[in-house]
Every structure is written in structure tokens, then in C-alpha cells.
Amino acid sequence: MKHFDAIIIGTGQAGPSLAARFAGAGKSVAIIERHKFGGTCVNTGCIPTKTLVASAYAAHVARRGDEYGFAAGDVRVDMKRVKARKDAVSGRSNKGVEEWLLGLENCTVIQGHARFQSPRTIVVNDEILEADKIFINVGGRASVPAMPGIPDVPFLTNSSMMEVDFLPEHLVVVGGSYVGLEFGQMYRRFGSEVTIVEKGPHLIGREDEDVSQAVREILEAEGIRFRLNAKCISLLKQGSQIGVGVDCEGGAPEVLGTHVLLAVGRTPNTHDLGLERAGVTTDDRGYLLVDDQLQTNVPGIWALGDCNGRGAFTHTSYNDYEIVADNLFNADHRRVSDRLTAYALYTDPPLGRCGMTDAEIRKSGCRALTTKYPMSRVSRAVEKGETQGFMKITVHAETKQILGAAILGTGGDEVIHVLLDVMYANAPYTVIQRAMHIHPTVAEYLPTVLSKLEPFV
Ligand SMILES: Cc1cc2nc3c(=O)[nH]c(=O)nc-3n(C[C@H](O)[C@H](O)[C@H](O)COP(=O)(O)OP(=O)(O)OC[C@H]3O[C@@H](n4cnc5c(N)ncnc54)[C@H](O)[C@@H]3O)c2cc1C
């Protein structure tokens, strides 16, 4: 049996940095990966999708050439070249993680599927490894719900979409949330017909209704069709096409497409870890139960990243690493509950979000002030010809602290950090109004937006 100071399962967004931290401190560490180095973000998530979003954006701007004073002719997308660009960007990151890990002194890199044999031992490739500290960073995969037709009808997920090097004639996206909307807009811009089927009454159901409605209008203006309230979704092969049964309140009971993408959430990779042999518990959806410092119910075993259900983003997984590492190495008692909600939806224009939603603010019962400002009045947006969306900020009426914000508009994914950092500083929003900002930017409008606060209802 080989002994290590630490064993890490998975090379997602937390594992490699943690391995480097242990190795750098002169501790022996083993890191185990069963598939591709870098995990979801690098291979099938953020990096490849945002690379594809960039190709789709370029095609979209080229089609709008007339508005900017040039003629690009008939814009046709070569999906093989789009995929090759995506593969190159994603491949560089994947190689980068692998080479980084292999180059670390004190770090043993193992390719294989890891399973617990006991609370202190892991089996991989028929070998038993032992450590006092074990870190689980196994991430998740696309959920495939047991909807009628699933066993018989071919469908795509965010992973198999990475192999697509052709233009689907009509892509039906099941799921109108973050992943579904990004793929939907991207493929519409590549040239596919796109229909998005969503079982809820709104797209991106956790967002404020006005945000959801504005995103819908932006996508509809590009020719994407929506079927909301699709309570009972099923798949059926119809000759060369695929029928998606929608059981909606309005419209035909079926959408016919050539390809179906399932984008209906994620499932943690915890079912095949042998957790029962270590006594580690999960909730009923398979998420590992952790405390505020990411320890599972078994001392000496931690869970980081998507598999602990405390975040579903690259930055939350990396922040998990920082929390665990600071607690272990710096005696800095950082906690998950100290972090603020922050993320982006990478449609174009993007949505940057931080803090609470309207519903959460209402539930908190605090007295709040709010303001909403259209991007059509932001000169940077007008200059760029990208005036869709709005900025919305809500603050605490007494403390003047920012409670939540949504910036749906050009640069929204970047500008949101101005507000986020003020929130982390526990400073009142008024500091933004005393700062000198750069012109012309979207951020320079934040003081103007904040000067129009009204009671939040
Ligand atoms: C389409 C899509 C787009 C996304 N876009 C964004 C975005 O723009 N921004 C953002 O912040 N987030 C985005 N995300 C989410 C982001 O990718 C994840 O939150 C992020 O990758 C964190 O993952 P992780 O560290 O938990 O583990 P992962 O990256 O999922 O890695 C887990 C690793 O563990 C390995 N593994 C699993 N089980 C075992 C085992 N038993 N033995 C050995 N190895 C194992 C897996 O092979 C995998 O490599 C996106 C996700 C998707 C699906």
C-alpha cells in the first residue's frame, strides 16, 4: 500500500491547485483523474463554450456589417473550422493542466477511476493508496432525466456537443436555463433553426422576471423560438427527424427538429465513488454534504467543487480550493458562507449577476431602494451598437450597502465586478459615486444609475 499525505480525486477547478499547494509545502500528494485533465470547465464547459460563443458573436457582427459601414457578403459558418478553433483553445488548457501536474515535485499523477475502500484508502487501477487527508473534486455530468423516448432517440449533451462539426438544420434545446440559452443563441448565429423547450413559465427561472423577459426578447429577435410551460417533455423518432413532445398550454403538441440537445441540469459524479465504504453521506440528489469549511461528515475527507452542491461554477470550485487551503495551511478560518453570489450568463449581451435576486431581497424583509437604467442610454453601448438590456441595482435603504445587481448588457460580465468588490469591501454604494471612472465605459454610468434609486416594492 502506498502512503501519501493527501489524495485528491479529480482534476477539476479545485484539485490541481490543491495538489500544487500540498506539493509546494513539501507534502506528498497523489492526484487521480479518470478522464481528461482539467475536468468540465476546460474540456466541455466554460472554455470551449465561450470559445464557440466568440465564433458565433463574430458571425453575428459580420452579418450586421451594413450597420457598421462594411459589406461582409453572405456570411456562412464553417463548423469544422469553428470546432478546430475551439479544440485548439480547449486543448491548450487541457495540456497545460496535465503538464503542470506532471511537473510538480512531490506529486504523483494517476490516470484511472478512484473508489474508496475505507475512510483512509482509495483503490485505483487495482492499487491501494492511503492518506490521512482525502479531497473529492469529482464534479458532475449532464443530467439525463427518465423522460419518455430517451432510450430510443439519439440526443446531445454539453459533452457530445463538443464533437459536433456540422450545422444541425433544426436544433431543439430541451432546457431554457444557462447552458441551453448559451448553446441556443450560438447555434442560431451559426445558422441553425433553434427552438428552446422549457418546462417552467420563464426562461432562467431563478432570475428576476424582468431579466428573464428581456433575455427572451433578445433571443426571439434573433429568430429563436420558445415553448414554455412544457410540462411533460418526451422524445420520439419521426423518420429522419426527432419529435419533441411538449404538452404546452399553447401551440402544437410537438416540435420537430433534426437534433436534440438536453440541457436540463447537472448530476454530481458521486454514485461510483464507493462512498458507502468510507461512510461519507450525500443528500438525496447525490451532492456530498459538507460543513462551512467543506469537510464531509467523515473527518479527514473534504469535498470541493460542483459535487458538494455549494456552487456550480468554476469560480466557486476554485474558491472552495482557497477556503480549504487557507484553513489547512494558513490557519485562516475562511468559510463558504462568507462568499457572495456572483456569476454570468454568456448570451450576447451577457448577464452579470451578483448578490440577491428580487425574490430573495423581498424574502429578506429589509427596506430597499432600487434603480433600473436602459443600456440604450449608455454612450459606450450606443457607440458599439449594442444597446440591448439594462442595469438594475438594489441597495439597503439604511446601510446603503448593495444587496443585488443584474447587468444585462454589453460588458455586463465585467462591469458587475465594480459592484461585487464594493460588496466585499462592505462599503456603501456611495463610494462608487465619489470615484472618477474612465470614459467611455459602461461602468462610468454606475453613479448615474445609482442616483435614480426609488423604493423597492
Ligand atoms: C456547458 C457548460 C458551460 C459552463 N460555463 C461556465 C462558465 O462560463 N463559467 C463558470 O464559472 N462555470 C461554467 N460551467 C460550470 C463549470 O464548468 C464547473 O462548475 C467547473 O468545471 C467546476 O467543476 P469541478 O471543479 O467541480 O469539477 P470538474 O471540472 O467537473 O472536474 C471533475 C473531474 O473529476 C474526474 N472524476 C470524476 N469522478 C472520478 C473518479 N471516481 N476518479 C477519478 N476522477 C474522477 C472527472 O473526470 C473530471 O475531470 C459550465 C458548465 C457547463 C456544463
Q: How far is the CA of 162 from the centre of ligand 1 (A)?
A: 14
Note the pLDDT of residue 285: 97
Residue owning the nearest CA to atom 21 of ligand 1: 41
- Tens of pLDDT, residues 323-354: 999 999 999 999 999 999 999 999 999 999 99
Residue 251, pLDDT > 80, answer: no
Note the pLDDT of residue 252: 78
Provide the grid cell at 406. Answer: 443584474
- Tens of pLDDT, residues 373-415: 999 999 999 999 999 999 999 999 999 999 999 999 999 999 9
Catalytic: 170? no
Mean pLDDT (whole number) for 35-53: 98
Q: How far is the CA of 321 from the centre of ligand 1 (A)?
A: 14
Cα 342-346-347 angle, rounded to 5 deg = 135
- Tens of pLDDT, residues 174-222: 999 999 999 999 999 999 999 999 999 999 999 999 999 999 999 999 9
* Inter-residue contact 37 to 98 (CB < 8 Å): yes
Note the pLDDT of residue 435: 97
* Band (457; pLDDT cuts 50, 70, 90): confident
User: Can you tell me which atom of ligand 1 is nearest the CA of 115?
Assistant: 41
Handedness of CA 109, 115, 121, 127 (dihedral sign): negative
Note the pLDDT of residue 402: 98
- Tens of pLDDT, residues 430-454: 999 999 999 999 999 999 999 999 9
Ligand 1 pocket test: pick from 43, 313, 323 the residue with the most ligand atoms within 8 Å of its Cβ. Answer: 313
Determine whether the shortest distance from the Cβ of 113 to ligand 1 is under 6 A. Answer: yes
User: Can you tell me which atom of ligand 1 is nearest the CA of 312?
Assistant: 19
Lowest-confidence range among 6-15, 146-155, 418-427?
Answer: 146-155
* Inter-residue contact 159 to 142 (CB < 8 Å): yes
Provide the grid cell at 5. Answer: 499525505
Determine whether the shortest distance from the Cβ of 308 to ligand 1 is under 6 A. Answer: no
Q: How far is the CA of 12 from the centre of ligand 1 (A)?
A: 5
Q: What is the mean pLDDT of the chain?
A: 97
Mean pLDDT (whole number) for 61-89: 97
* Band (232; pLDDT cuts 50, 70, 90): confident
Q: 149: burial class by Cβ within 10 Å (0-12, 13-18, 19+)?
A: middle
- Tens of pLDDT, residues 287-298: 999 999 999 999
Ligand 1 pocket test: pick from 31, 40, 51, 157 the residue with the most ligand atoms within 8 Å of its Cβ. Answer: 40
| Three-state SS at 33 | strand
Determine whether the shortest distance from the Cβ of 311 to ligand 1 is under 6 A. Answer: no
Which of 113, 202, 396, 439 is an active site residue? Answer: 439
Note the pLDDT of residue 250: 66
Mean pLDDT (whole number) for 68-72: 97
Note the pLDDT of residue 253: 85
Q: How far is the CA of 44 from the centre of ligand 1 (A)?
A: 8
Helix axes 79-102, 15-24, angle to 10 degrees: 20
Q: How far is the CA of 388 from the centre of ligand 1 (A)?
A: 31
Note the pLDDT of residue 249: 63
Residue 130, pLDDT > 90, answer: yes
| Three-state SS at 30 | strand
Residue owning the nearest CA to atom 6 of ligand 1: 46
Note the pLDDT of residue 248: 63
Rg (CA), the chain: 24
